[in-house]
Amino acid sequence: MLAGTRLVVVTADDDQLVLRPPPPAAGVADVRAAVRDALRFPLAGEPLEALVPRRGGRATIVVEPPSLPLPGTERDPRQEAIAAAVEELERLGIPSGYQTLLVAGGLARRAGHDLVTGLVSPEFARRFHGHVEVHDVERDDLVEIGGSGFRLAVHPALVRTDVVVVITAAETVLHGGPAALLGASNREALRSAGAWSLLETTASQGWRTGLALERALVNRVPLIGASLVLNHPRTVGAARGYPYEDDALERIARSPLRRVFGVLPGAVRATVLRSLSLDRSVAAAFAGPPSVAHAEALLRGVELRGTTMEGELDAICVGVPRTTPSLPRERPNPLLVSQLALGLALRLWRDAFPVREGGTAILLSRFQRRFAHPTQQPYRAFFAVARNGPDPEALGRGEALAVDERAIEAYRSGRTVHPLQPFADWSSCGPALSRLGHVLVAGCRDAAAARSLGFVPTHGLGAAMTMTRGWTDRAPRIGFLLSPPYFPLRVSLPPT
């Protein structure tokens, strides 16, 4: 299991369960052609050709920073999808100079030049003459388009245009599709965007808000979306086959290079892991109203990338890599570690939560309070508020005080995330924490940080497993989640 930059070899007993993703499915040969065909023959609604004004006009293409899925690849298929949308608009009479590429990053750090240029291929960047806008949730000229309980406002480029095209990958109900429109909205809407499961629209306020935005925009401007189904990455080289094949696991566990790798400094190990060659392909592309295309692509992705688990677990062990869930990739602080494990990995389920009520989650992480400066500065403020534990009232007061002029300016300049982002990250852990009885941090090096979040620090995985067994009067059913990549879990419960 990958924990930070370390490879932890765990021997699972017969009554324990190893959860791992299926191997990548076959990919389409030509991503651009697949996207063009999807826009010409959508699942529902009018094709792009019918939405574009006959005498040209302006177009806005909404994209998201490719923060998910993890791990990322150097050559992302979404680059080809964006290029296909631009070319299709040019064919229909809207030159690239009249197109706007809107990067909808929500509360995350605003994309700088390096990230923006990484959204497209170098060849495409040289010939694209349109405008690039990076959404700012604090800008003064957001356009109000309605509201239900709170204000809904969006980037002006979404309404001052003749057609809107949303190009995303179907990752979760909060990433891709109508969630991209939510990523170009105001902070009140973004802060309310939660979900019990990232793969089910039920009990997802974020999905409902995204739908409300989509319906409000359709009344103002023609709108169409294209959603990609991304396959799991395929590793080449020394780590080929990981984590999909038994032979790959045995080869890595028995390799003498693993021990050499283990004694290297952490920074060197991180460099080695980043140098691994990964390839990602596209399984399918769908178009139509963003919510329709995204829902179909998400269901297809769950079928292709997910695995089925029979019954609930008493405990689950999650390895957390040394990376952040958003771009640019950095060393994660303890809250980001929690968000990766509890807010992402343990929300990728359908039908039922994988751990029984009152069960245990074991996070494999060193859990050290190190904050990349200045990009993670708002997380320092969060831990200052939570120094006596994650008290909801104290966190509520801290969240209200966090949004000050200085923090907003740091966000708007692209130096750091929005001051509300740490509180949104902690809220994403809430659904898992409400089901779990204990969260253990195996290999914790900062006990104070673990206790401030309400977790139990342990010296290593062995101690965490011993504590887990002591909390039940029978042999606990423990699952080990092999990751990354994090993958959907379909939980099948016996009939009652």
CA distance 306 to 301: 8
Residue listed under structure tokens 């003749």: 162
User: Is it the case that residue 252 has pLDDT exceeding 70?
Assistant: yes
d(CA 300, CA 284): 8
The pLDDT, as a whole number, for residue 55 is 78
- Give residue 228's pLDDT band: very low, low, confident or very high (50, 70, 90): very high
Looking from the CA of 204 toward its CB, the CA atoms found within 13 Å total 20
Question: Would residue 106 be called left, alpha or beta, if left means φ above 0 and alpha means ψ between -120 and 50 degrees?
Answer: left
Burial 466-484 (b: 16+ CB within 10 A, else e): ebbeeeeeeebbbbbbbbb
Q: Which two tokens stand for residue 302?
A: 């769950």
Is residue 288 within 8 Å of 224, Cβ to Cβ?
A: yes
Alpha-carbon distance of 72 to 486, in angstroms, equals: 12
Q: According to the model, what pLDDT value does residue 492 have?
A: 92
CA dihedral 303, 79, 269, 237 (to 10 degrees): 70
DSSP result, 336-376? HHHIIIIIIGGG-EESS-SEEEEEEEEEES-------TTTT
What pLDDT, on the 0 to 100 scale, is given for residue 276?
A: 84
* Averaged pLDDT score across all residues of the chain: 93
Which residue would you say has higher pLDDT here, 315 or 241? 315
**pLDDT tens readout for residues 120-143:** 888 888 889 999 999 999 999 999
Is the pLDDT reported for residue 104 higher than 80?
yes
From residue 419, alpha-carbon distances to 143, 333, 428, 477 in Å are 22, 15, 16, 40
Q: Which residues pair with 141 in a beta bridge?
A: none
Task: Give 433's pLDDT tier (boundaries 50, 70, 90).
Answer: very high
Q: Report pLDDT for 1.
A: 86
What was the pLDDT predicted at 148?
A: 64
Please classify residue 303 by burial: count the beta carbons closer than 10 Å to its beta carbon, then call 0-12 exposed, 13-18 middle and 19+ buried.
Answer: middle
Distances (CA, A) of 344 to 67, 195, 316, 318: 12, 11, 14, 11
Measure the N-to-C terminal CA separation of the chain; round to a whole number of Å.
35
Contact predicate 388/394, CB 8 Å: yes
Cβ neighbourhood burial of 106 (10 Å; 0-12, 13-18, 19+): buried
3-state helix, strand, coil in the chain (%, to 5): 40, 20, 40
**At 469, which helix (H) or strand (E)?**
helix 461-470
What are the start-end ranges of the E strands in 176-231?
223-230
pLDDT in tens, 349-385: 999 999 999 999 999 999 999 999 899 999 999 999 9
Alpha-carbon span 369 to 449, nearest angstrom: 7
The pLDDT confidence band at residue 147, using thresholds 50, 70 and 90, is low
Write out pLDDT tens, residues 49-74. 999 998 779 999 999 999 999 888 88
For the cut 70, the answer to whether the pLDDT of residue 466 exceeds it is yes
Report the candidate in 371, 377, 363, 372 with the shortest Cα–Cα distance to residue 453: 363
Long-range contacts of 388-395 (CB under 8 A, 24+ apart): 388/452, 389/451, 389/452, 389/454, 390/426, 390/452, 390/453, 390/454, 395/423, 395/426
Q: For 255-312, what is each residue's pLDDT tens digit? A: 888 888 888 898 888 888 888 888 999 999 999 999 999 999 999 999 999 999 999 9
Domains belonging to the chain, first-starting first, are 2-21+306-492 (3.90.226.30), 31-230 (3.40.50.11440), 234-277 (no CATH)
Q: What is the pLDDT of residue 496?
A: 66
The label of the residue with tokens 């028995």 reads 254
**pLDDT single digits (tens) 27-54:** 999 999 999 999 999 999 999 999 999 8
CA-closest candidate to residue 130, choices 104, 99, 165: 99
The predicted model scores a pTM of: 0.94
Q: What is the pLDDT of residue 257?
A: 83
Structure tokens at 334: 């303890």
Candidates 19, 6, 13; CA nearest to 460 is 6
Which of 31, 213, 24 minimizes the C-alpha distance to 120? 31
pLDDT value for 37:
97
Structure tokens at 329: 């990739």
Give ∠ CA 242-245-249 in degrees, rounded to 5. 60
Q: Read out DSSP for 23-89? A: PPPPPPS-HHHHHHHHHHS-SSS--HHHHS-TT---EEEEE--S--SSSP-SS-HHHHHHHHHHHHH
- Between CA 153 and CA 220 the distance in angstroms is 13
Q: Is the peptide bond before 243 cis (omega within 30 degrees of 0)?
A: yes
Query: To the nearest whole percent, how much of the chain has pLDDT over 90?
Result: 76
Confidence of residue 174 (pLDDT cuts 50, 70, 90): very high
d(CA 34, CA 37): 5
Residue 452 reports pLDDT greater than 90: yes
Question: Are 281 and 34 in contact, with CB atoms under 8 Å apart?
Answer: no
